[in-house]
Amino acid sequence: MNNRRINICRPGYGASCSLCCGSHNYRMHHDEIEELFHSRSDEGSPRPYQHPYTVSYEKLYRDAMQCPHVGLSDDNEVFCLIYSEPDKKGELLSFFKGTCSNFYCPAWDVLTDKQVVFAARLMKDWFYYSLLINDIEAVQNLCASYSAPEDVPEEVLDELKEDILDRFIAEDGK
Ligand code: SF4
Ligand code: SF4
User: Tell me, what's the pLDDT at 174?
Assistant: 43
DSSP type of residue 45: S
Nearest CA residue ID for atom 5, ligand 2: 21
Grouping H, G, I as helix, E, B as strand and the rest as coil, residue 102 is: helix
User: Tell me, what's the pLDDT at 45?
Assistant: 74
Q: pLDDT tens digits, residue range 102-149?
A: 999 999 999 999 999 999 999 999 999 999 999 999 999 999 999 999
Buried b (16+ CB within 10 A) or exposed e, 31-47: eebbebbeeebeeeeeb
This prediction has a pTM of 0.95
Per-residue pLDDT averaged across 31-47, rounded? 91
Please give the Cα distance from 118 to 13 (Å, whole number): 10
Q: 79: which strand partners?
A: 71
Q: pLDDT tens digits, residue range 83-108?
A: 988 888 889 899 999 999 999 999 99
Atom of ligand 2 lying closest to residue 18 CA: 8
DSSP type of residue 167: H
Nearest CA residue ID for atom 8, ligand 1: 9
Q: pLDDT tens digits, residue range 1-17?
A: 657 789 999 999 999 99
> Which of 16, 24, 33, 70 is the pocket-test mutation for ligand 2 (most atoms within 8 Å of CB)?
70
**Regarding predicted confidence, which is higher, 2 or 165?**
165
DSSP type of residue 78: E
Q: How far apart are the first and last CA of the chain?
A: 35
Per-residue pLDDT averaged across 15-39, rounded? 97
Please give the Cα distance from 14 to 125 (Å, whole number): 5
Sign (positive/negative) of CA torsion 74, 58, 66, 134? negative
33, 94 contact by CB (below 8 A): no
